[in-house]
Each structure stands twice: as structure tokens, then as C-alpha cells.
Amino acid sequence: MTTTHPGTGTVGQRDVRPMGQEGRRLLLVDSDPTFPRLLQAWLAGRGWRVDLEDSGRRALAHATALSPTLVLAGLDPGGLDVFEFIAQLRRVVPGVPVVLCAPHAAVGSWDRETLAALGIARALVRPVRFLELERELLRLLEPVSGTASSAESDPATLRDDGSPRC
């Protein structure tokens, strides 16, 4: 459903259906015209509530009211540098995991320390299979337990080819 935001006159996409699964609310921020809408429709069909914003500024303005359990951001969240967006998001909704989904050239060489310093819980490489992306999102929602190996819980664990696992 398309909604005009009060006071700004801007338009964002809202999924106003019941969540279907407790705790699955994703704020998806990406200026790409296609990927976010496809992902929104796919995840909504799997029980997620997805709020889509094509502007980092609008996402920040609505993040508190939306109360997302996760944030998925593209490399260009629209109107802001992605790192500036993540830093501001950390102040607005502290503790909410942020997943960056970007081309390999952008994230392929980042290590765990770099990701943590930037406030990124996971960095996924586009193109990404939706099912793999959902698995990573669900892992971030799992309660912390002492049973996972450090390699499984490390957000920067790399595949054999050096790319971040997803």
C-alpha cells in the first residue's frame, strides 16, 4: 500500500497487513527502483512485515514509530551516505541489527572489525538469493546461545572465495 507521510507529502511503501510472525518487522531502505519492491513482496508472502523507504532521511524520520526488529539497507539509502545513515540510525533505534546488501566490490574486502565499527551486523553481496537473505535475517533474530560456534556467529565469516557468507 502506498502512503503519503503526514507533514512531508512524501510517498513511501507500507505493508499494513498483520505481521503473521511475531518479531519479523523489517525496515528496508534502498533507492534502487526494483530490488526492494521484489524483496518486500517476497518477504511479505513469507510472514514478514516490511516497511519500504527509498530515502534514508524518511527512514530515519519514521524508524522510531515503525519499531523495526531489523534494518536492511542498500549501499545508496537515498539522500544520505550509507555510513552516515547507519550512524544516525544507531541513535534513533539503538540495538536494532543493520544488514547491508551491496555489490561485491563494496563489501568483499571488509573484515569483522570493519563491519562492527560501521555498525553493520551482516554485509550481504548482491545479487543475493532471497531465501539465503531471509536465513541471515532470521539468524539475527535468534536469541544468543552458547551453542553456536564462533565461525557460525561471526558476521564477517568468509566463504572460500573470500566473499561474506550469506
φ, ψ dihedrals at 78, nearest 5°? 80, 105
Which CATH architecture is the domain 11-141 placed in? 3-Layer(aba) Sandwich (3.40)
Domain ranges of the chain: 11-141
pLDDT computed for residue 56 by the predictor? 93
Task: Judge residue 13's burial from the number of C-beta atoms within 10 Å of its C-beta, 0-12 exposed, 13-18 middle, 19 or more buried.
Answer: middle
pLDDT computed for residue 158 by the predictor? 41
What secondary structure letter does DSSP report for 75? S
Residue 129 corresponds to which cell in the numbers above?
538469493
List, in sequence order, every residue forming a beta bridge with 103; answer none if it has no partner: 126
Residue 19 has a CB neighbour count (10 Å cut-off) of 14
What secondary structure letter does DSSP report for 45? T
Residue 59 corresponds to which cell in the numbers above?
527512514
φ, ψ dihedrals at 109, nearest 5°? -105, 5
pLDDT computed for residue 28 by the predictor? 96
Contact 88, 81 (CB under 8 A): no
pLDDT computed for residue 117 by the predictor? 85
pLDDT by position in tens, the chain (length 166): 334 343 444 445 544 443 345 679 999 999 888 999 999 999 999 999 999 999 999 999 999 999 999 999 987 877 788 889 999 999 999 999 999 988 776 666 678 788 888 889 998 888 889 999 999 999 999 874 443 333 333 444 444 444 444 4
Residue 16 has a CB neighbour count (10 Å cut-off) of 8
